[in-house]
Structure 1
């Protein structure tokens, strides 16, 4: 732990920030990644703060477990400052790709450290391509470069199919930026591990190019460069937010018509909760 202070620090901050989000919906809404919040209201802090929020304890624990599994060894090799640079480059890079792809979906909301975690994983792959990685429910491990290639292909399929609420775009963007950051900081890894890096980066860059320049090639029916009502990651969160907004609107309408003294105890409690008091 003493040799990896940034890994420990980021873990603690993520737990505190996520817990606050669990307890306070207003706090959660303020710091989550949201297209309108970023593009319309210029709340650029969401590009970073969203990486420290999570939707559930399972979401948080899974991300932190993966982060720790790769983060400690990587930080010990690259150093704390470089590790921090890789982390934030991955976090921002993942959110930038999500922002580009979903820029016409104003209500699109996402949370989680997955983009940054993917960046840490792929930085580790660049540095340790022969490292063995085990996966849940699979009784054997595979080389990290093979894991990286499989991850990229599965993520590309996830973006193309848009069949789940997983933020594949942030995963892919974070993974790519994490690997690029590691190469930029340690150019020698490109010479030493040229082939596995090329195998991973080439399909990633090619897909991103097609996704941005020629979405019709991918046969994506609801690709977000045109207006769409498609909601991706955290659809459940958006539904909860809409339901709560409807509830608070009803309370405010009642106050306007009959005054605040007309509220029931439950309505007053809900009003205080929504106001963050």
Structure 2
């Protein structure tokens, strides 16, 4: 872990300030959250604004803690501008995938930076596939690429079975964003890590096959 870059500090601060505003102001929260009915009425700004709101302190902390650990890898390898593109693009793609899966559920609502953070995590895994991750509940290191594949497979399961009050589709969409945008910005990865690119694509291809065959 290197120094915490200024852009990461700004993003974390924005999430904290906007989330706390939402905690104490129900009208503000309702106006800027992701809501299918409002989006279909033309309030597209919610695709972006909802990514800075959270439901509670635990939700906010977990997302910002994850961002804190992975942002530096992406910034060091690709630079600040590319990191911002990956963060923003993953946030939007996560919410767009949610909208795609819930387009007829006008009541469906969601908030959180999870899509953006998953995009950053998937980008970091692509850039440093050999790194190991330590999970709170598992005392041994897990190869980053196995975590990435396993998490997306779990997200497919969660989407299919509506597991918990979690936006699995936003997580998945964010990961797709991080994956695709990173490969566009760092095309040299195709020469260095082609096998890893293929492995990390497995859950993404599986989701589209399931959707195409009507099993999602």
TM-score by length of structure 2 reads 0.95
Q: Equivalent residue for 2:140?
A: 140
Q: Equivalent residue for 1:92?
A: 92
Q: Equivalent residues in 2 for 1:66-105 (5 A)? A: 66-105=66-105
Distance 2:31 2:20 in 1: 14
- C-alpha displacement of 1:48: 0.5
Distance 1:3 1:53 in 2: 22
Q: Equivalent residue for 2:186?
A: 186
Distance 2:93 2:83 in 1: 15
Higher Cα Rg: structure 1 or 2? 1
Q: Equivalent residue for 1:115?
A: 115
CA contact (8 A) 1:130 1:144 kept: yes
SS at match of 1:38: helix
Q: Equivalent residue for 1:214?
A: 213
Distance 1:130 1:171 in 2: 22
Q: Equivalent residue for 2:35?
A: 34
CA contact (8 A) 2:149 2:202 kept: no
SS at match of 1:133: strand
Q: What are the Cα deviations for residues 152-189 of structure 1, in whole angstroms up to 9, with x where unaligned?
A: 11111111111321110000010011011111000011
Please, which runs of 5 or more residues in structure 2 have no aligned partner?
A: none
- C-alpha displacement of 1:77: 2.0
Q: Equivalent residues in 2 for 1:46-57 (5 A)? A: 46-57=46-57
- C-alpha displacement of 1:3: 6.4
Q: Equivalent residues in 2 for 1:108-257 (5 A)? A: 108-211=108-211, 213-215=212-214, 218=215
Q: What are the Cα deviations for residues 229-252 of structure 1, in whole angstroms up to 9, with x where unaligned?
A: xxxxxxxxxxxxxxxxxxxxxxxx
Distance 1:153 1:175 in 2: 12
Distance 2:191 2:209 in 1: 25
- C-alpha displacement of 1:2: 6.8
- C-alpha displacement of 1:190: 2.3
CA contact (8 A) 1:7 1:75 kept: no
Q: Equivalent residue for 1:15?
A: 16
- C-alpha displacement of 1:55: 0.2
Q: Equivalent residue for 1:266?
A: none
CA contact (8 A) 2:125 2:131 kept: yes
Aligned residues: 215
Q: Equivalent residue for 1:60?
A: 60
CA contact (8 A) 2:7 2:80 kept: yes
The reply to whether residue 6 of structure 1 matches residue 7 of structure 2 is yes
SS at match of 2:30: helix
Distance 1:55 1:61 in 2: 11
Distance 1:153 1:2, change over 3 A: closer
Distance 2:141 2:154 in 1: 18
- C-alpha displacement of 1:209: 4.2
- C-alpha displacement of 1:86: 0.2
- C-alpha displacement of 1:200: 1.6
Please, which runs of 5 or more residues in structure 1 have no aligned partner?
A: 221-277
